[in-house]
Amino acid sequence: METLLVALLNGLIYGLLLFMISSGLTLIFGMMGILNFAHASFYMLGAYLAFTAIHMFGFWGGVVFGTLGVALIGFVCERYLLRHVRRFGHVQELLLTFGLFFAFEEVVKLFYGPYAVAYSVPESLRFTAFHIGEVSYPFFRVLIGLTAIVMFAAIFCLLRFTRIGLVVRAAVLNPTMVQALGYNVSVIFSAMFAVGAGLAGLAGAMGGAYYTTNPNMATELGVIVFVVVVVGGLGSLGGALIASLLIGVLVSAIVYVDVTFGQILSAVGLVSDEVAQSTLDVPLSSAAGVLPFLLMLLVLMFRPQGIAGDERA
């Protein structure tokens, strides 16, 4: 029972980290219609910038530096690259971000090498938050989850209850009218892209300290982040949160399920016991990496707009 509770809690925290990354991609697509293939690279850059700055400004200074640094990189990418290809259509935008993805990875390898760097949780944050039975649960994991929850609340309140959010939503629906009212729509879009990139940078600065910081971290999480956005519904912040938690819990919980594919198929009478114990004696937990994609397949088959997506989209 203790093991199951820890697994579920680990899944929730992993899901919240996924949400920290995917929320920026959801915002960028929902507000600007840009499917940013390089979004996971912002997560990687946040980790590396924080690692670089931590020696000068301490851990929290590094987190702030990583977040703001990636936001600035995102602003530059939108202002000087994406804006110039937008008039040619979404395919050109996608190809440009595809190129940025590989460019960022190669730049990181050039300066930091192809292996993981020694970016880790500082000693001051290495303590137990609480106990589940005899299992000690680390405080930093809880901190990652709390950061994601606060981030979601801040974005939601900013977009729903402030004048800035009102202008941003109006600019998305009718940019010409907002421009006529005296607002600079180009600056609004650049700022939104920078905020989306900065959120991924914050996730990288926090997650990179707890997990591994290496040049492949964007590749490892990039596909999962797109799965989260599709399952949750393109442009839906609430849907991204639900999908992130669902995927995080499913992937973490199945690791602790001690059953094989053969046993399941034998129980429903599809294969014999002999085949179940020989050819199909494969643990169900080995399919943990495939689960997010199976979930996406099911969602696309039965609810193509995603869990919380707009049917009109």
Please determine, for residue 114, whether its predicted confidence score (pLDDT) is greater than 80. Answer: yes
**Residue 11 contacts by C-beta under 8 Å, 6 or more apart in sequence?**
245, 248, 249, 250, 251, 252, 253
Burial 182-192 (b: 16+ CB within 10 A, else e): ebebeebbbbb
Token pair of 186 as six digits: 């180009």
Note the pLDDT tens digit of each residue in 128-170: 988 888 888 899 999 999 998 998 899 888 888 888 888 877 8
Given a cut of 90, whether residue 44 has pLDDT beyond it is yes
CA distance 26 to 36: 10
pLDDT score of 63 more than 60 = yes
Tell me, what's the pLDDT at 84? 86
Check: CB of residue 256 under 8 Å from CB of residue 3: yes
Please state the length of the chain. 313
Residue 312 pLDDT: 57
